Chain A
Amino acid sequence: MSDEMDTRPVAKSWIPGERGEQDRDAIGAADDAVVVDVDAGDAVADEELERLFEAETSEGDQELTLVEETDEIELLIERGAILRLPEDAAIAVDPASQGDAADAHFGDGETMIINLGPQHPSTHGVLRVMLELQGETVLRSKPVVGYLHTGMEKTAEELTYVQGATNVTRMDYLSPLNNELAWSLAVEKLLDVEMPARATWIRMLMSELNRISSHVMWAATNGMDLASTTMMIFGFREREMILSFFEKTTGLRMNHNYIRPGGVAADLPDGWEDDVSVIVDTIAGRLDEYDELLTGQPIFRERTEGVGIIGPDLALAMSATGPILRASGVPWDLRKSMPYLKYDEVDFDVIVGTVGDTFDRYAVRLNEVRESIRIIRQVVEKMPAGDYKVQDKKITPPPRARIDESMEALIHHFKLYTRGFEPPAGEVYASIESPRGELGCYIVSNGSNKPYRMHWRGPSFVNLQSVPALLRGSLLADAIAILSSVDPVLGEVDR
């Protein structure tokens, strides 16, 4: 009998009361000696269960309390960032707040605060937005971030410059090659080395392909948010073509570690011109399909036009960059204005909007894909021959075949992958135009083989500040369209 009782499963049910009753029934049939044993085991199991039920996350209480019961500091946190805009700016973004209307809502108990996310399909990851609603109208809002924080800037201090690219490529996971590019440009600026021409042009090719894949991915998720499932399938279909080319070139579909300090990891595969030409020709045709599906479609236009407007002054004050800034009418693109790589040798236009609404941000991105296609066609024509990495054995590894025959090459290879190189002490900031805006990398070197400090200026992180300004005064249903048009990638926001 006692053997039988010992081998029963520890927990039969998730509901403690139910479980206890079941056990007591079983115990009733047993003799006294056994009852004592079972009771002891039972108490332990119950405690265990109770502990499980009471377990809290490290963040403590997750629910929002009633407005009257919330202390002032917590209220300040809940009431979004729009409160913290300078007063005139806050009035300026809210068409409904002429006069005292805006302040009348504050604290009168008629508004409701709801959480959007962090587990919500249209927040594009673990973004949580607190929204203050009056009826269906959004008043104040606040993005709450940090759910994906993994301390990448701290990690970078423990990795050598050679290893660093594997770390940063995971930040903005929709444009990994742009992350690697910003990192490599910063490290090379520190080292003060000149890139071979072919390496530069390969970087441009990959960066622009990545911009297309990121923008069509955005178009896909944006379509899904606006209930256009067809667009979602279309976008993923086009992205897949580019990812296949990335896989062929770099060996990986994402997180490539392809653009490295000193050049790129490998030369382009044979016949890459044909691959790339097929990709850009196909996508150029498909963009016209997007136009038919969305651009001229009344439902799509109704949902995006005049929704979430941000003007140039406010966008600049909020440090917004990328399509948000350009849609508001500021022709600022680092590729054009402060060219890096060889963007001054290719012909392309900077796309700007006029109104700064959600539709403009859509149009800017769609036409940027067309400009990227223009750039890629020129890159295919102008791609020079030569080295794809710097021929400096302190910075880039020797070819694999050399290691078998040259002791020196073996030593260089070993030193590079165990210790890495040591740039001079100093600090640099390098920035590029990623699909989401200005992506900056700030590195402090103390002369050792690891960065003393690496800081990442993430465009998504900064652009999220514009969200309260964009949302204010819009409908809750539009909030989804607006959030989507900001195109945040939470991996880069939280780093």
Chain B
Amino acid sequence: MVDETTARAVTDPTSDDVPVSLVAELGELAGVAVAFFRGDEVLFPPRERYVAAVAALKAAGFVMCSDLCAVDYLTHMDRVLPDGVTGERFEIVVNLLSHSRRRYVRLRVQIPADDPVAPTLFYLYPGVENMEREVYDLFGIVFSDHPDMTRILMPQDWEGHPLRKDYGVGRVPVQFKEAPGPR
């Protein structure tokens, strides 16, 4: 799955050669596992180094957090990961964008199922506020020190986290099906 595929023109205009790895470039990222897939660089910092790694990338020009989401690998635990990375149930996936370098970098952080907590990126990028709330709402991963860790898409009193793989489709009865009409 993770291979050294040469970069394609879909996302990177300077993709005739494989982009230089950021791990080699930035001293703060030393030892972080790295992989290339379809031309995108993917970093696998451990949870303890997550914020530090993002801060280093921000200092290196990745001034915008494009996207933050999570994946529940409950039924796909045998995914291929680079050496030295132990797969956990949850992953937080962050896409950072550097305007000056014109490239994205993706971070995948392993989050164990028995302790689904991650540090927040809010104080580096205030723009992750909605995204982290969405991850909390749909996956139940808590971001410590996030200023407003509440549900955003589901009702406040909803039980369960719908995008988890053990949350069945159609498990909740349709709310309005049996509601009596006005007459």
Which A residues lie at the B interface, using CB under 8 A? 11, 48, 52, 55, 58-60, 76-77, 81, 83-86, 89, 145-146, 149, 151, 153-155, 157-158, 185, 188-190, 192, 316-320, 330, 332, 337-340, 344, 424-431, 438, 440, 442, 444, 446, 452-453, 455, 457, 461-462, 464-465, 494-495
B106 partner residues in chain A, CB cutoff 8 A: 429
Asked whether any CB of chain A lies closer than 8 Å to the CB of B104, the reply is yes
**Cα-based distance from A197 to B10 in the complex (angstroms):** 14
Of B25-33, B43-51, B110-118, B152-160, the segment with at least 4 beta carbons within 8 Å of chain A is B152-160
Q: Are A317 and B130 in contact (CB under 8 A)?
A: no
B10 partner residues in chain A, CB cutoff 8 A: 185, 188-189, 340, 430
A–B pairs, 6, beta carbons within 8 Å = A84-B129, A151-B162, A154-B162, A318-B126, A337-B102, A440-B67
**Cα-based distance from A55 to B40 in the complex (angstroms):** 52
Q: Are A192 and B8 in contact (CB under 8 A)?
A: yes
Task: From the candidates B71, B123, B148, name the one contacting A453 in the complex (CB within 8 A).
Answer: B71
A465 partner residues in chain B, CB cutoff 8 A: 126-127, 129-130
Q: Are A317 and B127 in contact (CB under 8 A)?
A: yes
> Considering only CB atoms, which chain B residue lies closest to A447 in the complex?
B1
> Considering only CB atoms, which chain B residue lies closest to A11 in the complex?
B183
**Cα-based distance from A438 to B95 in the complex (angstroms):** 12
**Cα-based distance from A429 to B79 in the complex (angstroms):** 17
Q: Are B130 and A426 in contact (CB under 8 A)?
A: no
Asked whether any CB of chain A lies closer than 8 Å to the CB of B23, the reply is no
Looking at the assembled complex, report how far the CB atom of A458 sits from the nearest CB atom of chain B, in whole angstroms.
10
Dominant SS among interface residues on chain B:
loop
Q: With contacts A52-B180, A84-B147, A337-B99 known, is A316 near B63, CB below 8 A?
A: yes
Q: Are A340 and B126 in contact (CB under 8 A)?
A: no
Q: Are A192 and B156 in contact (CB under 8 A)?
A: no
Other than the given A154-B162, A429-B95, 12 more pairs (CB < 8 A) read A52-B182, A59-B155, A85-B126, A190-B38, A337-B99, A340-B11, A428-B40, A430-B11, A431-B11, A442-B93, A446-B75, A457-B95
A494 partner residues in chain B, CB cutoff 8 A: 153
A81 partner residues in chain B, CB cutoff 8 A: 129, 148
Asked whether any CB of chain A lies closer than 8 Å to the CB of B54, the reply is no
Task: From the candidates A86, A431, A438, name the one contacting B126 in the complex (CB within 8 A).
Answer: A86
Q: Are B123 and A86 in contact (CB under 8 A)?
A: yes
Q: Are A77 and B148 in contact (CB under 8 A)?
A: yes
Q: With contacts A58-B175, A192-B8, A338-B102 known, is A344 near B95, CB below 8 A?
A: no
B129 partner residues in chain A, CB cutoff 8 A: 81, 84, 465
**Cα-based distance from A319 to B129 in the complex (angstroms):** 10
Q: Are B155 and A84 in contact (CB under 8 A)?
A: no
A48 partner residues in chain B, CB cutoff 8 A: 180
B157 partner residues in chain A, CB cutoff 8 A: 58-60
Best-surrounded residue of A330, A332, A444 (most CB of chain B within 10 A): A444
Query: Which residues, 107 to 143 on B, are CB-close (under 8 Å) to A?
Result: 122-123, 125-131, 134, 138
**Cα-based distance from A85 to B128 in the complex (angstroms):** 11
**Cα-based distance from A457 to B130 in the complex (angstroms):** 11
Looking at the assembled complex, report how far the CB atom of B134 sits from the nearest CB atom of chain A, in whole angstroms.
8
Looking at the assembled complex, report how far the CB atom of B7 sits from the nearest CB atom of chain A, in whole angstroms.
11
Q: Are A330 and B1 in contact (CB under 8 A)?
A: no
Q: Are A440 and B126 in contact (CB under 8 A)?
A: no
Q: Are B37 and A344 in contact (CB under 8 A)?
A: no
Looking at the assembled complex, report how far the CB atom of B164 sits from the nearest CB atom of chain A, in whole angstroms.
10
Looking at the assembled complex, report how far the CB atom of B57 sits from the nearest CB atom of chain A, in whole angstroms.
14
> Considering only CB atoms, which chain B residue lies closest to A48 in the complex?
B180
Best-surrounded residue of B103, B130, B182 (most CB of chain A within 10 A): B130
Q: With contacts A425-B1, A426-B38, A442-B95 known, is A318 near B67, CB below 8 A?
A: no
Asked whether any CB of chain A lies closer than 8 Å to the CB of B12, the reply is yes
Q: Are A440 and B169 in contact (CB under 8 A)?
A: no
Q: With contacts A330-B99, A428-B38 known, is A146 near B104, CB below 8 A?
A: no
Q: Are A192 and B152 in contact (CB under 8 A)?
A: no
**Cα-based distance from A455 to B131 in the complex (angstroms):** 11
**Cα-based distance from A89 to B128 in the complex (angstroms):** 15
Asked whether any CB of chain A lies closer than 8 Å to the CB of B20, the reply is no
A457 partner residues in chain B, CB cutoff 8 A: 66-67, 69, 95
Q: Are A440 and B38 in contact (CB under 8 A)?
A: no
Looking at the assembled complex, report how far the CB atom of A384 sits from the nearest CB atom of chain B, in whole angstroms.
17
Q: With contacts A438-B66, A442-B93, A465-B127 known, is A339 near B155, CB below 8 A?
A: no
